[in-house]
Amino acid sequence: MARILVTGATGNIGRMTLRHLLKRLPARDLVGLARDPAKAADLAADGIEIRQGDYLDDEGLVRAFQGIEKVMLVSATAFTDRNTQHQNVIGAAKQAGVEHIVFMPVIHKAGSAFSLPQVTDEDRFVEERLKASGLIYTLVRHPPFLDTVVSYVGGNPLVTGVVVPAGAGKAGYALRDELAEAHAVVLSEAGHENKAYALYGGPAVSFADVAQSLSDISGKPVPFNAVSDQDYIAHLMAAGLPEPAAGFVLAWAHGINAGEWDGQTGDLETLLGRKPTTPTAFLRASYAAPQHDREP
C-alpha cells in the first residue's frame, strides 16, 4: 500500500490518528510530520517514520511529502496565519505528487451567519483551495471536543457550578480520540474520495444538560449559573486562562448556545462502526465519586 502521512504528529489529534492507523496498517506504511521529530520518539519507537517539516517551510514540505499518497492535514493553531500555512501544505502536496488530502475543518451549518474568529473563514479558505487544487480530498468536519466540554465552564464545576453565558443551545460533542479513529478509517480505506463528513457525537446537550448530568453523577446539586460575557471571561481567567484564550472560549460558548453544532448526521457512528461515547458516559468516567468527593 502507498504511504500515508499525518501532519502535526506531536499534537493530540495527529498522534491519536497515527495510533489508530497503526492498528489498521503496518508501521512501514505510516509517516508522521513534526517540527521537532524528537518529540515524536514514541511513534518512531513503534516503527513510524517521522519526518521534519513546518507549515511555513515550502521546500521542506515538498521534501517531506515525497513518496506519500495521502496526507492528513491537521489544522494549524488559530491566530497563526492559518491560510498561509494550509495553502503551503496543499501546494507542496501537489508538487510532491500526493494524490489525496484529508482535512479537519470545524462544522459550519449551511446558511449560518455564525463565525469563529480565526477558524471559520480560514477553514472555508482551505475547503475552496482543496476543491480547486485537482487533488482528491475528504473533509472530516469536527464539532466541539467532548474532552473539553467542562473547560467551557472553568474551574471545578462540582464546586463552582456550571458557569457560562446565558443560552439553551446544544452541541453534539465528540471525543478527540474517536474523531482520530474516524480519520484513520478514512485514510486507510477506499470510498471516501471527494466526500465531506460532519462528525457529530451525540446526543447533543446544552450547558444546563451538563449541569444536570453532573448533579446526577455526583449525587449533589450542580447549579447552572448563567452570567454576562464579562463575568464569564473573569471566571475563566480565575481558573487560569489568559484573557485572549478566555475570549476565544467565549466565542465557542456563543456558538454552542446558538445551536451551531446541534446537528446529527450519523457519520461518526458509521465510520466507527459503533455509537460514539455519549456526554453522560464521558462525564461519569471523569467525575464519578469517590474521586471527586473531596474539595479541591
- 3-141 carries CATH number 3.40.718.10: no
- Look up cell 465557542; give the residue: 252
Domain ranges of the chain: 3-141, 147-170+202-287
How confident is the model over 193-244, as pLDDT tens digits? 999 999 999 899 999 999 999 999 999 999 999 999 999 999 999 999 999 9
What's the CATH code, domain 147-170+202-287? 3.90.25.10
What is the spatial distance between Cα 258 and Cα 171, in angstroms, rounded to a whole number? 9
Least confident of 6-10, 11-15, 109-113: 109-113
Residue 208, classed as helix, strand or coil, is helix
Is pLDDT of 28 > 80?
A: yes
Residue 100, classed as helix, strand or coil, is strand
**Do 3-141 and 147-170+202-287 have matching folds?**
no
The CA-based angle 49-52-53, given to 5 degrees, is 125
Q: Report the predicted TM-score, pTM, of the whole model to 2 decimal places.
A: 0.95
How confident is the model over 233-265, as pLDDT tens digits? 999 999 999 999 999 999 999 999 999 999 999
Give how far Cα 216 sits from Cα of 32, 169, 278, 280, 284, Å. 42, 21, 15, 10, 9
